[in-house]
Amino acid sequence: MSKDSGTPTYVEPGEEFDRDMNYIPDRITAEPGRSRDPHDPAARDGALEVATWPIEPGRYRLVAAQACPWANRSIIVRRLLGLEDVLSLGTPGPVHDDRSWTFDLDEGDRDPVLGIERLQEAYFERDPDYPRGITVPALVEVESGKVVTNDFPSITHDLFFEWRDHHRPGAPDLWPEDVREEMEEVMQRVFTEVNNGVYRCGFAGSQASYDAAFDRLWAALDWLEERLTDRRYLMGDVITEADIRLFTTLVRFDAVYHGHFKCNRQRLTEMPALWGYARDLFQTPGFGETIDFEQIKAHYYVVHSDVNPTGIVPRGPEPDWWDSPHGREALGGTPIEAW
- The predicted-structure confidence for 69-97, as pLDDT tens digits, reads as follows 999 999 999 999 999 999 999 999 999 98
Show me where the domains of the chain are located: 27-166, 177-290
pLDDT in tens, 222-231: 999 999 999 9
Binding-site residues from annotation: 101
Domains 27-166 and 177-290 share a fold: no
Tell me the β-bridge partners of 236: 233
Query: In this predicted structure, what is the pLDDT of residue 17?
Result: 77
For residues 24-43, average pLDDT: 93
Sequence ranges of the binding site for glutathione: 101
State how far the Cα of 65 lies from the Cα of 246, in Å rounded to an integer.
18
Q: Mean pLDDT across the stretch 187-207? A: 97
Tell me which of 3.40.190.10, 3.40.50.300, 3.40.30.10, 3.40.50.2000 is the CATH number of domain 27-166: 3.40.30.10
Amino acid at 138: A
Q: pLDDT tens digit string along 113-156?
A: 999 999 999 999 999 999 999 999 999 999 999 999 999 999 99
Which of 68, 201, 277, 300 is flagged as catalytic?
A: 68
Q: Which of 123, 199, 300, 301 is catalytic?
A: 199
Q: Please check whether residue 74 is in contact with residue 155, taking contact to mean a CB–CB distance below 8 angstroms.
A: yes
The whole-number average pLDDT for the span 283-309 is 97
- Per-residue pLDDT, averaged over 143-171, amounts to 98
Q: What average pLDDT does range 102-121 have in this prediction?
A: 98
> Is 199 a known active-site residue?
yes
Percent of the chain surpassing pLDDT 90: 90
**177-290 maps to which CATH number?**
1.20.1050.10
Instruction: Write out the DSSP string of 189-213.
Output: HIIIIIITHHHHHHT-SSHHHHHHH
**301 a catalytic residue:** no
